[in-house]
A = this chain, B = another copy of it.
Amino acid sequence: MIPPLLEEIRERLDEFTATERKAAHALLANYPMQGLGTVAQFAKAAGVSSPTILRFVARLGFPGFADFQARLRAELENQLNSPLARSSVMETDASVDGDPLMDKLVENVRETFAHLPRGELQSLIRILADEKRTVYLLGGRFTDALARYMAAHLRIVRPNVVHVAGQQGNWLDQLIGMGPKDVLVVFDIRRYQAEIVRFAEAAARQGVTVGLITDSWMSPIGRIAAHVLPARVAVPSPWDSSTALMAIAELLIAGVTQENAERSQTRMKALEDLRNAYDPKRTGDDLL
């Protein structure tokens, strides 16, 4: 964080000469914009001459006016990038847009939330936050990406997260270890793939708690699932949309994070440290 020049000027106000103080006042009155124009503009606003502005800047310790401006810009940038200020700079509300697909996508998310059974959501979150359980995530041909996404996030806030992926043959290896203490989250929408259903059923038979995110018509897994979260997936396109599923996934992720906030925080910090220690030069790590 860059220490604000503003404070320094206030404190050192009496070091300046009378006219320099006029300059200082003009700057403080419209900080920091006044300093971002030209010397002449600054001088005029302060009611002094250009050289006075230069002397003022020099006394502050800057080699030249350009350096002074650079400092002001850096400060502003720093300030604007803080999360609080950001929203107000950027945000404007805009109107609706004609595209039917866009409209439907927005509506789907809204409708999904409107009809989302809060109880189901909350209890699934609570189960997912329980770190004594191992969480398994499974998706179909397209929804596998969602399972992956959710796994990537959950792994950060809690231990024992497994994304059931890759060769189907290997799925069975996962199945062996699953028991009544564990939980399986399945993403399954229309064209309910047989192998997904079979896997979920097998897991249920072993006492695993099954959470299901599905479309409104509901997958056959719904019959065995302990918690079902239905989403709107219909769009004017040959495919179903996964945007609402993603939205639900994010609700779950956020819920689990919040459900056990300290643990999440601790783990996030620890991971950050690990990553830095592992290779300070690199910002992230590999995808898996």
Interface on A for B, CB 8 Å cutoff?
3-4, 6-7, 30-31, 33, 36-37, 69-70, 73, 76-77, 79-80, 83-84, 86-97, 99, 101-102, 105-106, 109-111, 113-115, 139-142, 144-146, 148-149, 152-153, 165-168, 191-196, 216, 234-235, 237-239, 241-243, 246-247, 250-251, 253-254, 257-258, 264, 268, 281-288
Contacts and interface: CB of A to CB of B under 8 A. Distances in A.
B238 A268 contact: yes
A166 B80 CA distance: 36
Given A93-B111, A141-B284, 6 more contacts: A88-B93, A94-B111, A101-B254, A105-B251, A142-B149, A237-B254
A33 B2 CA distance: 16
A247 B141 CA distance: 18
Integer count of this chain's copies in the complex? 2
Contacts of A33: 73, 76-77, 80
Q: Which 5 A-B pairs have the closest CB atoms?
A: A94-B114, A145-B149, A193-B284, A237-B254, A102-B113
B99 A89 contact: no
17 contacts: A4-B92, A30-B77, A33-B77, A94-B114, A94-B115, A97-B113, A102-B113, A102-B251, A106-B113, A140-B287, A144-B148, A144-B152, A166-B288, A192-B283, A195-B282, A195-B284, A242-B246
Contacts of A101: 250-251, 254
- The main secondary structure of chain A at its interface with chain B is helix
B92 A141 contact: no
A282 B70 CA distance: 39
A238 B257 contact: yes
A90 B110 CA distance: 15
